[in-house]
Amino acid sequence: MPTNPLSPNELARTQAVLDRNQWNITRAARELGISRSAVQNRIRLIGKPANAKFESPRLPSPIRDLDELIADRIKESRRSKNADDARDLIKIHVNIEGPFGLLIFGDPHVDDAGCDFETLARHRDIAINHPFVLAGNIGDNLNNWIGRLGQLYAHQTTTAAEGWKLVEWLIRPINWLFLIGGNHDLWMGNGDPLQWIASQAGSLYEPHGVRMALKQPCGTVTRIHCRHDFPGHSIYHSLHGPKREALMGFRDHLIVAGHKHVGASEQFVTPEGLVCQIVRVAGYKLADAYARQLALKKMAIHAAALIIIDPKEPETGGGRVWCAPTVEKGILFLDSLRSDYEQTKKSKK
């Protein structure tokens, strides 16, 4: 406890002045030649007046005291830092030997009339049924119009509640390697249903983006960086943002973005010699009134992307990670690779 800087005589004089002025703080402060707050501090040291007309209880404060607040802030900052550090590069063990596919769904917008639902349903079946295909979701699963954009619900036949039914149809049956919250998904704010659905399925859900290191039984590690979008834009190059990441950011084997409803892919060799596959998935929203308003060209390639990952290939060659021209042709190639792998495996026994 801090020591009292006032002498007993000063406190006694203050009490006498307060008694004489019927505990009027303003008049007592004027007589003592001190401020009102100083008088109030002295009253706290003196205690309640003997002739007080009533006694008010001292209620407990809902606010933490300073020591408790600092201790809690330290605990909270440590927890926040640990959570942030754990997401720098998420290590995932993939229990598949040999080559496998990663099917990355572009922006689905399942409740939009322009969604290519037949293609989406076909890709969903592949993700559910193919034993050597993992699935990822780049975000924007539904329109989820909010604010002034809410008026756009007048132009779509699927209600908001029906939209979430379609999201469940897409999300629940698939064992997702990852799900990314896009800008339309994150408009939900707190209590995101997509995050809850993902947690029930045991899937990795992260807003904005995720960076992973996939380790297979043979020991090969493939680094993947997927975001709803990367910073940077160019009217001349739809891969400008992801390629900027490859040049100035992490050196990963695969970099994938979505968001802009255009599709493109290319392989890029970093200065260290690593071959990086860069992809932008266009998503399933083929008919888009906003794109027509801006006179944007239809970019129908890569609604989704099937990425072939072959762990036996060196990372300095073009065969470790590459994007198939279409999902369907990629499945044919993957099945052929798997057949060769199984034959080779049998011949070694």
Instruction: Give the integer Cα–Cα distance in Å for 261 and 178.
Output: 20
Which residue(s) pair with 230 in the sheet?
Answer: none
Please compute, for residue 312, the number of CA atoms within 13 A of its CA located in the half-sphere on the CB side.
Answer: 11
Joined tokens for residue 156: 């779509």
Residue 126 identity: I
Q: Is 6 exposed, middle or buried (CB count within 10 Å of its CB: 0-12, 13-18, 19+)?
A: middle
| pLDDT tens for each residue of the chain, 349 residues long | 445 567 878 888 888 888 888 888 898 899 989 998 888 888 887 776 655 666 677 788 899 988 999 999 999 999 999 999 999 999 999 999 999 999 999 999 998 988 999 999 999 999 999 999 999 999 999 987 787 777 777 778 888 889 989 999 999 999 999 999 888 878 776 767 888 888 887 889 999 999 999 999 999 999 999 999 999 988 888 899 899 998 899 999 999 999 988 889 999 998 888 999 999 999 998 877 766 666 666 666 789 999 999 999 998 888 899 999 999 999 999 999 999 999 988 887 7
Instruction: Give the integer Cα–Cα distance in Å for 241 and 251.
Output: 14
Instruction: Give the integer Cα–Cα distance in Å for 257 and 243.
Output: 10
Q: How many residues does the chain have?
A: 349
User: In terms of Cα–Cα distance, which of 311, 301, 310, 306 is closest to 323?
Assistant: 306
Joined tokens for residue 10: 């000063």
Predicted local distance difference test score (pLDDT) of residue 1: 43
CB 341 within 8 A of CB 101: no
pTM for the full model?
Answer: 0.80
Instruction: Give the integer Cα–Cα distance in Å for 177 and 214.
Output: 10
User: In terms of Cα–Cα distance, which of 281, 137, 255, 284 is closest to 201?
Assistant: 137
Instruction: Give the integer Cα–Cα distance in Å for 104 and 283.
Output: 10
Distances 37 to 6, 32, 42, 60 between C-alpha atoms, Å: 15, 12, 9, 22
Joined tokens for residue 281: 């998935």
Predicted local distance difference test score (pLDDT) of residue 291: 66
User: In terms of Cα–Cα distance, which of 228, 270, 235 is closest to 249?
Assistant: 270
Instruction: Give the integer Cα–Cα distance in Å for 41 and 186.
Output: 50
Residues whose CB falls within 8 Å of the CB of residue 313, separated by 6 or more in sequence, listed in order? 319, 320
